[in-house]
Amino acid sequence: MTEIRPMTIEISDAVVADLKSRLANTRWPEAETPDDWSQGIPLAYTQEVVRYWAEEYDMQRLANRLNAYDNFVTELDGLDIHFMHVRSARADASPLLLTHGWPGSIVEFLKVIDGLTAPENDDAPAFHLVIPSLPGYGFSGKPTSTGWGIEKIGTVWAQLMAALGYERYFAQGGDWGAIVTSAVGGVDPDHCAGIHLNMVVAPPDPNADDLTELEKSGLEGWQYYQDWDSGYSKQQSTRPQTLGYGLVDSPAGQAAWILEKFWAWMDCDGHPENVLTRDELLDNIMVYWINAAAASSARLYWESFGGALAGQQIHVPMGGTIFPKEIFRTSQRFAANMYTNIVYWAEKDAGGHFAAFEQPDVFVGELRSCFGSMSL
């Protein structure tokens, strides 16, 4: 039997003192030209966030939020994996595995836990939630050898659900979590009863000549990503170690690296704090900072970027929800080339890449609708 050990998230006084010292001693670049986000996150806003982080943010807020739920760690394939396990009081609840991506974390799911485990309406589906931190991310261990790509993580996630005694379960994810969730459906179809994705990565059909507005928008989004938004992924997929020296050493640098993507990928009308509070944004950044996870998280790109699940078809029941500000957007007919058993599909008029974080009520509703149409 795999030993499952309770875990309490702790942020020590020494970690806080070191963080505040580094924030106070940040060496700043000059301001951007022009005065907007086109060259990256603006200096004035970054300085504002850093000042708030050092002087006003509750440094124990993250630990308090996470410790409100049950946290555990277990060793799988030689690596400690941290996960939250929140069981519903409902006898008919279904097991559900939720997987985050980069630059997100388990923090993304905190606002949907209660809605998924304890719906107010007894007719709505309820779920037992398993929310792991990806290897190299958050409070999970950091791989010390190569091989921890998407397929291996999918296999380990299946092992985790088996260790928890779940014979059948559903799985959901966005960003890398969407790719991992797809891998779970591919490697464990006897136990994974269905998946839901809020980022569906599927190439367009090259023979299609009657593109819909969504498909045209998706192609435009892909081109924009390639031209203006993919530099981070090139660096993380080729030289994650080099990047790590700067980000692990500088909390201001780590914050800027992450915040810029929240601005770019959320449906936020030009400013991340139009959707999330500054405290929520810093909670997520703290997960990376206190665990010095910049290099270890980026290594997932080195292991998997560009080749994950390439050409592989997934046959378990699948549902997708397309949000208008998602990085990659596709249509159901294009997705069907990869996911052969699509049973649920929805296109929303608001929301972006961090669906559970940005639109928690919509996210909960989508999972209820999707998995309510499947059976364990």
Give me the CATH number covering residue 132.
Answer: 3.40.50.1820
Q: Which residue has the higher pLDDT, 207 or 25?
A: 25
Structural domain count, the chain: 1
Looking at residue 208, its pLDDT comes to 83
Average pLDDT over residues 326-344: 95
pLDDT of residue 311 exceeding 80: no
Name the β-bridge partners of 352: 325
**What are the distances in angstroms from CA 341 to CA 150, 151, 215, 320, 345?**
21, 20, 20, 11, 11
Average pLDDT over residues 212-232: 92
Identify the pLDDT of residue 205. 80
Query: Using CA atoms, how far apart are residues 322 and 316, in angstroms rounded to an integer?
Result: 19
Instruction: Indicate whether 296 pLDDT > 70.
Output: yes
pLDDT-derived band at 203 (thresholds 50, 70, 90) equals confident
| 190 contact partners, CB below 8 Å, separation of at least 6 | none
* pLDDT of res. 308: 66
- % of the chain surpassing 70 pLDDT: 99
Banded pLDDT at 206 (limits 50, 70, 90): confident
Side-chain-facing half-sphere of 86: CA atoms under 13 Å: 22
Quick check: 373 pLDDT over 90? yes
Q: How confident is the model at residue 305 (pLDDT cuts 50, 70, 90)?
A: confident
For the residues 147-176, what does the mean pLDDT come to? 97
As a whole number, mean pLDDT of residues 129-150 equals 98
- Give yes or no for residue 1 having a pLDDT over 80: no
pTM of the prediction? 0.97
Among 66-70, 130-134, 223-227, 358-362, the least confident range: 223-227
**In this predicted structure, what is the pLDDT of residue 65?**
98
- Whether 265 shows a pLDDT value over 90: the answer reads yes
Domain that holds residue 296: 4-372
Question: pLDDT per residue over 167-192, tens digit each?
Answer: 999 999 999 999 999 999 999 999 99
Over residues 257-283, mean pLDDT: 98
- For residue 310, pLDDT over 80 is answered with no
Rounded to an integer, the average pLDDT of 207-215 is: 88
pLDDT at 110 over 70: yes
Q: What percent of the chain has a predicted confidence (pLDDT) above 90?
A: 94
The predicted model gives 228-233 an average pLDDT of 95
At residue 335 the predicted structure's pLDDT band, cuts being 50, 70 and 90, is very high
Mean residue pLDDT across the chain = 96
- pLDDT for the residue numbered 376: 92
Q: How far is CA 70 from CA 82, 88, 122, in A?
A: 11, 12, 24
Q: Pick the residue with more confidence: 205 or 66?
A: 66
**Residue count of the chain:** 376
